[in-house]
Structure 1
Amino acid sequence: MERSTLRVEALLIIMAVFVACNIYTLIPIYEDVGSSISIAPEKVVFAGSVFTFCYAAGLFLFGSLSDLLGRKTIIVFGMGISALATAAVALSAGQWSLYITRGLQGFFLGSFAPAAFAYCYELFEAKKRTLLLALINSGFLAAGILGQIISDFLTEWFGWQIVFYFFSAVYGSLFLVGLSDLPAANLFAKKGFAIAAYFSILKKPQLLMCYGIVFLLLFSFVGYYETLSRFHPGTSGEMLAIRSAGLAGAILSIFTGFFINRYGETKTLFFSLGLGCASILPLLLSSGPFVYLLSSILFVSAISLLLPTIITFIGSSASEDRGKALSLYSFILLTGASLAPLVMMVLSHKESLYLLISVFAIQGIAGYFIGRSTTSKN
């Protein structure tokens, strides 16, 4: 039984990594895709935002559908349809076909996260669930770097189309494995889609503040690596090293449970935000490869602690509406990510860095009110 459970946990983490990889695959290959299908790189940037916006829409819809149809059904068949949509991206021959196929790909990949988060709550007991959620979030963060590395490598050696054929094959394989290995969860409620439930969630002040932080989380993450890609004049080897270094920071999310148990959610939140500011400040003074290397580790460490901490706040505050609250979390998270490339595209290097510091400051203000709300409840 324990071995079977470990297999399920490993499968969910692997799915999380490869689903999230495609949020970031275009970042290092804007120019390659643009020159291949004869459009400006700026229009390829917009294709990334189309993907992320449609991904966010999928997160919003499939969270409720998983209440109705079951978590396993949404996770597994979402993976199968995503395999077809991802292969279609490689066949794009122009601007609009790229937008449409990337949009479809993002929409169906959006089926995974809300169903998987709720699935973890229903299938695993509290201690194991906390660790698994932390590992899944580590996977999402690792994907932010791994997706760029895979995309850059495959494009350099085989062409950008192979990137999407590769991920299509991965999703197809995960569909088959998930179909046979994922057990059905017993405790989902068939409530259907009720828009009133979402408005009810947003009426809770603590959740509203949490969602304010959530919106800025992947906005800052995508914005950071957009800034790196645009303004760091290093070799491809240096860029690979800087991105890879960020993977070390993702490991910190595994220890979220330790930080929360020892210091509480609020202190963990503020420690993460302080770490985020510390990662940006050195870049205002120097933009050398070593500084970016250190900054990448600290930045990803900050985000890797923030994500599971915020999920803990949301999960405990939403109670019986947890499935919908986590679906809304995922939708807002990716809405922020979809705007980041468009905003960063018009900013200078210094302006981008000041914006990132401001983002952490705004999150700190929201965190203060969350902490006050939590204290008053206790």
Structure 2
Amino acid sequence: MKVRLQLTAILLTITGIFVASNIYTLIPIYENVSQTLQINENHAVLAGSLFSLFYAIGLLCFGPASDQFGRRNIIIAGMFASIFSTLMVGMADGAIGLSAARSLQGLTLGSFAPAAFALAFDLYSERKRTLLLAFINTGFLLAGIIGQLLSSTITAFSVWNAVYYFYAMCYFILFLCCALILPASKLPLRENRSALSIMTSLLKDATILKCYGITFTLLFSFVSLYDAIGRFFSGSPEQLFHLRTVGLTGAILSLFTGKMIEKFSVERTLFTGLVISICSLISMSIFHGLIALMVLSILFVASISLLIPTIITLIGNLGGSHRAKALTLYSFILLTGASIASPVVLLLNFQHVLLLLIGLFLMNLILGFLLTQELGQRHSAKLNG
């Protein structure tokens, strides 16, 4: 069983990377797609936006579904459906076909994250679970680079359709691996209330709501910063690529989140991540050189990589028997933040983006302080009760 749990952790991490990579596959090949299909480039951009919308809908739908049908079954069924939806993207022959296929692909791939997070809580002890969540979320961050790099490289040596044939083949292999390796977990007790009613009650919980407030800013800030660097960096394309790639090495810190939570508590780990992010953003507003941006981007990515598994741990614990639905809302809010980041950045210059992010993380610091007080009160009430 121990070996199977280790294989499950590796499989969930790899699957997470390949699922999240498809969020970004169209970005570097908009021009190739529009030329091949003889459509306006805006239609290709629209297909990417529809993917994000239906991915978010999938997150909301499949978390509650995993409570009813089982985490393992939802992941396996989602990977199977993703094979065909991804093939459909590669076979699209016009703007409507591309938009419809990307929408369906987003919906099917949205089945993975909430079921995978809930499965981690079902199968692993707190320390091992935090490490697994850190691995999965590190994979999500790396997917921002890997997805674009794979699609641009494959398109350079072949045609853009080959990108999606490649991913369909990967999803077929992952489907087989999931069917063979993933263990089943115990289903939660059936509720008389609807999933919508439970999610509404979770959003009314002031403590969980503060966690969601912080959640919204995490991928929003990550995407905003990297988008702003891409738009305003004055160096060569090679320097820009190195800057983006070097920054992602900060994701390594997420691997130590479990040990930090165990040694220092979840609250102190949260504050450590917030302080690192604020210091790195303030420093970026002062120092604009290539080396400075490289070092500071490593620190900023490290803070995000530390905060994401910490927030997941908090939400999973606070969600209790409703953790799958609580984590579904987490995934939806996280992606919503990422989706609106680019349109917001278009309206601002680099310095204003940094000021916005500094303001958001100062707000997070206040939310973290209030969150710590409420967690302390809950702990005291539990001891006295």
TM-score by length of 2: 0.90
For 2:125, the equivalent position in structure 1 comes to: 125
Mean Cα deviation higher: 282-291 or 244-253: 282-291
Does the 8 Å contact 1:46/1:342 carry over to 2? no
Q: Is the 8 A contact 1:51 1:105 kept in 2?
A: yes
CA positional deviation for 1:361: 2.2
1:4 maps to a residue whose letter is: R
Range moving further from structure 2, 301-310 or 21-30: 21-30
Correspondence 1:94-173 to 2 at 5 A:
94-173=94-173
Q: Distance in 1 between matches of 2:131 and 2:164?
A: 31
Name the counterpart of 1:350: 351
1:32 Cα offset (Å): 4.0
Is the CA contact 1:207–1:317 (under 8 Å) kept in the aligned structure 2?
yes
Distance 1:92 1:228 in 2: 33
Q: What does the per-residue CA deviation read over 1:117-176, in whole Å, with 9 as the maximum and x for residues that have no partner? A: 111122223332222222222222222232232233223333433322222211111011
Tell me how far apart the structure 2 counterparts of residues 117 and 346 of structure 1 sit (CA, whole Å). Answer: 34
Q: Which residue type is aligned with residue 375 of structure 1?
A: G
Residues 1:157 and 1:357: Cα distance change in structure 2 (over 3 Å)? farther
Partner of 1:294: 295
Q: Quick check: 1:194 aligned with 2:195?
A: yes
Instruction: Report how far residue 100 of structure 1 moved.
Output: 2.3
Identity %: 44
Q: Could you tell me how far apart the structure 1 residues matched to 2:12 and 2:72 are?
A: 11
Return 5+ residue gaps in structure 1 as ranges.
Answer: none
Bigger mean CA deviation after superposition, 21-30 or 8-17: 21-30
What is the CA distance between 1:370 and its match in structure 2?
A: 1.0
- Residues 367 and 33 of structure 1, relative CA distance in 2, 3 Å threshold: farther
The reply to whether residue 324 of structure 1 matches residue 320 of structure 2 is no
- In 2, Cα distance between equivalents of 1:344 and 1:314: 29
Map of 1:227-266 to 2, 5 A cutoff? Answer: 227-266=228-267
Instruction: Provide the residue aligned with 1:369 in structure 2.
Output: 370
Hey, what's the Cα distance between the residues in 1 that align with 2:162 and 2:236?
23
The answer to whether the Cα contact below 8 Å between 2:9 and 2:132 also exists between their aligned partners in 1 is yes
Aligned to 1:360: 361
Matching residue's letter, 1:50: L
Separation in 1 of the partners of 2:98 and 2:299?
A: 34
- Which structure 2 residues correspond to residues 198-217 of structure 1 after superposition, within 5 A? 198-217=199-218
Paired position in structure 1 for 2:49: 49
Answer yes or no: is the 8 Å Cα contact 2:62–2:74 preserved in 1: yes
Q: 1:157 to 1:332 in 2, by over 3 A?
A: same
Q: Distance in 2 between matches of 1:47 and 1:343?
A: 19
Quick one: which amino acid aligns to residue 174 of structure 2? L
RMSD: 2.3
Q: Is the 8 A contact 2:127 2:262 kept in 1?
A: no
One-letter amino acid of the structure 2 residue matched with residue 237 of structure 1: E
Aligned in 2, Cα 1:180/1:104: closer, same or farther, shift over 3 Å?
A: same
Output the CA distance in 1 between the equivalents of 2:284 and 2:37: 35
Give, in whole Å, the separation in 2 of the partners of 1:172 and 1:271.
Answer: 40
Deviates further, 295-304 or 57-66: 295-304
2: distance between equivalents of 1:343 and 1:45?
16
Q: Structure 1: which amino acid aligns with 2:103? A: G
Aligned mates of 2:254, 2:227 — CA distance in 1: 23
> 5 Å matches for 1:29-40?
29-38=29-38
Report the Cα distance in structure 2 between the residues aligned to 1:195 and 1:94, rounded to whole angstroms: 36
Residues 188-228 of structure 1, C-alpha deviations (whole Å, 9 max, x = no match): 44448521111111111000111111112111122222223
Residues 68 and 187 in structure 2, CA contact (< 8 A), matched pair in contact too:
no
Whole-Å Cα distance in 2 between the matches of residues 106 and 214 of structure 1?
Answer: 21
Partner of 1:300: helix, strand, or coil? helix
| Displacement after TM superposition at 1:23 (Å) | 2.0
Contact kept in structure 1, 2:188 and 2:321, CA below 8 Å: no
Mapped to 2, the partners of 1:354 and 1:338 lie a distance apart of 20
| Distance of 1:25 and 1:231 partners within structure 2 | 22
Aligned counterparts of 1:126 and 1:167: Cα–Cα separation in 2: 33
Q: Is the 8 A contact 1:39 1:94 kept in 2?
A: yes
Residue in 1 that maps onto 2:382:
none
Distance 1:266 1:237 in 2: 39
Please tell me the residue identity of whatever aligns with 2:127: K
Amino acid in the other structure paired with 1:270: F
Output the TM-score relative to the length of structure 1: 0.92
SS at 2:23 equivalent:
helix
Unaligned runs of 5+ residues in structure 2 are 380-385
Q: In the alignment, what sits opposite 1:222?
A: 223
Contact 1:49 1:341 in 2 (8 A): no
Q: Distance in 2 between matches of 1:32 and 1:273?
A: 40
Question: Bigger shift: 246-255 or 192-201?
Answer: 192-201
Q: 1:345 to 1:44 in 2, by over 3 A?
A: farther
8 Å CA contact 2:13, 2:136 repeated in 1: yes
Give distance in 2, aligned partners of 1:15 and 1:96: 28
CA separation in 1, counterparts of 2:241 and 2:373? 42
- Return closer, same or farther for 1:101/1:133 CA change in 2, 3 Å cut-off: same
How many pairs does the alignment contain?
378
**Is the 1:65–1:193 Cα contact (8 Å) retained in structure 2?**
no
